[in-house]
Structure 1
Amino acid sequence: MARLSVPTTARLPSSLRVDASTSAVTKVLNRLSRASLLSLVVDWLGESNQTLCPPLLRRDKEDDDDVDEFYPLAQSLEELRELYADMQAAKGSKREVVDRIVEGDWRMGLSLYQLAMADMRYLYDHPGSLKWIAYRIQQLKSPLNEAEADGAEKPDKETLAIPRFHPSTFLQNLQAEVLPDVKAHYNFDRPEGMPLWLLRIFILDSPYNTTLAVSNRTGDRATTSFDASRTLYIAFPDASPHIYISKSQSTGPAAPGESRSLHSLIVDGIPKALSRPRERYTLNKTNLSTKNLSGLLHIRGAGRTNAAGGGWGIYSELKPTDSPLNPILPTPPLSEDSSSEPMIDNRPVSRTHKRALGPEESRRERAIKRAKMAAQARFGSSAKVDDRKGMERLDIMIEDPFPNTPGVSAPQNEAEAGEAEELERSQSSKSKGRRSGLELEFEQVRDLAEIAGEGSREGTWKPNVRLTFQGSHVFAGIRQLVEAGVINGGRMPGWMTGEEGVSIGAVRDGRIRGHKGSGL
């Protein structure tokens, strides 16, 4: 008699098996390379993973009916380990390994823990496959009277309290915030070389936590709820008031707005799971999103570079006993570069050759030296091409009024300025159609400015100017342009050096809106 399955609020167990013939399972395995897939199978066969990743073995007393099969079962784990070790040493195709897993040793299905390990391995092999959004954890003020208790909750910007994070307690509290008709599987992992905990959340639209949640048979055709599953990652850096949340990924076609609603549900549930009695927290967006997890740790981690970006990073490299207020400051890298030999065409110039230089080459030499000195002063030790902390995109909106330059005609009055702005908004909405997330972010910034009274200025005209820097390492590219003399390092604004620590922002009076653009 089959077990009785009833709806429950419990999460999905890691030992729950998924049919190996499911398209989502083969899709997860085919994403990995052959070397990564074989290394993953060796981890499955380890002694510590046998409770959640056991393969199908042939018993000694069992009839040898599977001898004639294309993938006969092994009799022991040692034999199976030797088999996959030989496959690692030999050459072959990835299709052979996938077929061996699906139709051979794990033909009865893969557990949710195995699928989580496969997803984690793909993330480690492709660090830029996810886009992360940084959030700041802030403690809410405790109401002192009934008026404050009835009003809106406000974050306490003066406190430096960080919530205590315990994985098992956090998962229990987070599961209580998830809808009862949604089941989730959680898996924690510690990436090598990164001071953070990585949580993978696998979500299914099912009220059951048994095999009914992963398979649903209708007649002779088997369908699975994996087609509507979503995966979300949350990173918890050590001793940091920030967390990073990735955008949800779906294995199949998802309804419009479904991923966004799931993301908002998780964002609302995380501070509640971290809160305790008389100690409540909230999440605030920091306008920083990137695909580089190492760059997030550098800008929004537990180090001293959170508020010391660009050229200010020299103070984050000091010893704890040192201080910028000391009368004897450390020797900056700028003075070291100033005493180095001049370079022309990446070659050092000797003193005898320096005397033979003409006036044109001498001016060129001095210009190159000044440009490198300016780049070193503005960027410091940051924005290096090989530092693996690059940001791939920077979107900036300029909200400064247009200068009164002779020969440039501006709108004569407020009515013309309003009509021009309204026409520009209507044209942009007609040409672009559906508004992107960047448009919504900029409109939110503009609305906040109007509420605060910062957007209205008498007799000024602000053109709609937006800048987008895109590449593998945006600030490293800007630094190279400064060193080449294309950009004037002395007159370059501070937000072009990365010291603001944002990937999207609005510039007003030459500065990113807000205190250093991040709400620190």
Structure 2
Amino acid sequence: MARLSLPTTARLSSTLRVDPTNITVIKALNRLSRPSLLSLVLDWLDERNQSLCPPLLRRPDAEEYEDEDDFYPPAQSLSELRELYEAMQLRKGGRREVVDRVLEGDWRYGLSLYQLAMADLQYLYDHPGSLKWTAYRIQRLQTPGHEDDAEGPEIADKESITVPRFHPSTFLQNLQAEVLPDVKAHYNFDRPKGMPLLLLRIFIIDSPYNTDLAVSTRHRGRPGLASSGSSSSATTSFDASRTIYIAFPDASPHIYISKSANAATASSTAGGAAGEAKSLRALVVEGVPKALSRPRERYALKGTGLSTKNLGAMLAVKGAGRANAAGGGWSVYAGTETADLKADNPLQTLKTLPTPPLSDASSANDDTAENTDYGRKRRRLVDPDEAEDEKQQKRARAAAQARFGDAAKVDDGKGVERLDVAIEDPFPTDTAIPPPDGDYDARRGAGAGEPSRRKSKGRKSILDLSLSQEDLEDVSNERGRGRANEEGEESWAPRVRLSFHGSHVFAGLRQLVEAGIVDGERMPGWMTGEEGVTAGAVRHGRIKGFRGSGV
């Protein structure tokens, strides 16, 4: 441990060791399966990782019986230790055996922050649905033309298609400058296999130091005094840590930010901890566009209304070449993979020649076959009702293919598990024939005033949380005073919200269309996934533009 530690704004080093008795280390290893844990340990023992993950080896000048009483005696070399863990892979056993060997034997002096980052990433790769991702669009801001305009609100440049250049080292330096001085973070980049994106893991610790004091659970008391204090106050700083992931897809103006890994636990234990997790995540969300900005080239993050646990679905909707709303049946125009280019794409300049028409001889043979007695008997045996049902099923399948295209398949691996939509269109009424006994006025008055007086019970829905404060005020004002139609009369807007749940929402909607339950010809476009949103408000039959396609 450093003899003298001073508060600094530098980030945490990857070589800092965390005590193996720390609850964070124990949880990080125990949630991995035995095969994943053994594969991770072998990665630690790689020659390229020895500067960050060095194990405990026996000293060359050690006495022969020095480690006689040690339950896990140190190995002589890396090759010997590697052979030991490879032998553990070949035989059966429990996870506890590997964890004890790591924490009490080969890494008894602690795991580095780099090793903890590798353990967290391994768990993320083993459980892709463990985190919920939210997509943001990187929007360039207009450069103020005068000094007086610089003090005003930031205005997005919607016509600009400029994407900021991303350099990992420069980005981390700028991002660390935006973090509070009494908070330290450890950054780790990784590239998942089979995914065109760069993943950044941010491990935030509530500490002003970037030395061993930031991760130590011993000898920590008041700030600046390392010789006094209880163990209970020592674990406060490290246990308040938060982990946030940021994904940078290749050649895309979007980024994906995960919710805090401990947000669910914090919200169930204490409200203050949950608020702290949200504030740390908000701090990162605010710091990312500032870290990407340069002089006279400022950027901001704009919510897209897309949240899901599936990174594959994120890349399909907001990945490379998906800056617009080219989903559903329109996805055939945005195919970028090799399989899409080989398919029958409308954008193909060279297509296969059409099948030549049948010859006269073959057509004559077909006519002869149709005029046989067997053909006439087959036509007589067909039930008209069955023929009509078969015709309707064929029409429903054709409508589903036209509306969804090649997307929304059950086994495509791009499932979205939730879709929340608020219908804010006014209720259609016939103003030419007023209802008797003033029912229309009473119903309209009750519908307009009741939502503003009624208090909602229970927790807020995801749709409420996704709406900004400005939109909520706009919606409440419109509901409170009613909406005016083209003739100037107020109309009644019912409070209708739709929420779809499942492993693959749009694939389920496609199956409903194929079964004839949902009319595929009249269904709105946001039900096919072409808008690329999972939460939004529908006005005049369309998802509001700034939440989705930008129309």
1:383 corresponds, among 408, 411, 416, to 408
Aligned to 2:168: 167
Question: Matches of 2:303 and 2:453 in 1, distance apart?
Answer: 28
Question: Matches of 1:364 and 1:330 in 2, distance apart?
Answer: 34
* Higher deviation after alignment, 215-224 or 16-25: 215-224
After superposition, residues 173-322 of structure 1 pair within 5 angstroms as 173-217=174-218, 221=231, 223-224=234-235, 225-250=237-262, 253=266, 255-304=273-322, 306-317=324-335
Question: In 2 relative to 1, CA 3–90 (structure 1 residues): closer, same or farther, beyond 3 Å?
Answer: same
Shift of 1:518: 3.9
2:473 corresponds, among 435, 447, 451, to 447
Give me the CA root mean square deviation.
3.1
Matched residues, number: 499
* Higher deviation after alignment, 362-371 or 76-85: 362-371
Question: In 2 relative to 1, CA 83–461 (structure 1 residues): closer, same or farther, beyond 3 Å?
Answer: same
Question: Matches of 1:16 and 1:210 in 2, distance apart?
Answer: 7
Question: Matches of 1:280 and 1:264 in 2, distance apart?
Answer: 19
Aligned to 1:145: 146
1:272 partner SS: helix
Question: In 2 relative to 1, CA 279–221 (structure 1 residues): closer, same or farther, beyond 3 Å?
Answer: closer
Aligned amino acid, residue 240 of structure 1: S
1:476 corresponds, among 507, 517, 521, to 507
Question: In 2 relative to 1, CA 455–392 (structure 1 residues): closer, same or farther, beyond 3 Å?
Answer: farther
Aligned to 1:488: 519
1:231 partner SS: strand
Aligned to 2:483: 456
Aligned amino acid, residue 279 of structure 2: S
Aligned amino acid, residue 202 of structure 1: F
1:170 partner SS: helix
Aligned amino acid, residue 21 of structure 1: T
5+ residue gaps in structure 2? 220-228, 267-271, 355-373
Residues 16 and 113, structure 2, Cα contact 8 Å, conserved in 1: yes
1:249 partner SS: coil
Question: Matches of 1:183 and 1:353 in 2, distance apart?
Answer: 83
The normalised TM-score by structure 1 is: 0.89
Residues 287 and 518, structure 1, Cα contact 8 Å, conserved in 2: no
Question: Matches of 1:147 and 1:330 in 2, distance apart?
Answer: 61
Aligned amino acid, residue 478 of structure 1: L
Structure 1 or 2, whichever has the larger Rg, is 2
Question: Matches of 1:154 and 1:112 in 2, distance apart?
Answer: 40
Shift of 1:358: 1.4
Question: Matches of 2:178 and 2:101 in 1, distance apart?
Answer: 40
2:537 corresponds, among 500, 506, 510, to 506
1:175 partner SS: helix
Shift of 1:45: 0.2
Question: In 2 relative to 1, CA 202–358 (structure 1 residues): closer, same or farther, beyond 3 Å?
Answer: same
Question: Matches of 2:2 and 2:196 in 1, distance apart?
Answer: 46
Deviations 1:173-202 (A, max 9, x none): 000000000000000001111111100000
Aligned to 1:396: 421
Residues 252 and 323, structure 2, Cα contact 8 Å, conserved in 1: no
Aligned to 1:423: 450
Question: Matches of 1:295 and 1:258 in 2, distance apart?
Answer: 29
After superposition, residues 318-333 of structure 1 pair within 5 angstroms as none
2:490 partner SS: coil
Aligned to 2:44: 44
Question: In 2 relative to 1, CA 455–200 (structure 1 residues): closer, same or farther, beyond 3 Å?
Answer: farther
Question: In 2 relative to 1, CA 352–441 (structure 1 residues): closer, same or farther, beyond 3 Å?
Answer: farther
Deviations 1:23-57 (A, max 9, x none): 11010001111100000000000000000001001
Shift of 1:283: 0.7
Residues 244 and 259, structure 2, Cα contact 8 Å, conserved in 1: yes
**How many percent identity over aligned positions?**
63
2:273 partner SS: coil
5+ residue gaps in structure 1? 333-349
Question: Matches of 1:325 and 1:111 in 2, distance apart?
Answer: 52
Aligned amino acid, residue 297 of structure 1: L
1:28 partner SS: helix
After superposition, residues 335-346 of structure 1 pair within 5 angstroms as none
Question: Matches of 1:237 and 1:354 in 2, distance apart?
Answer: 58
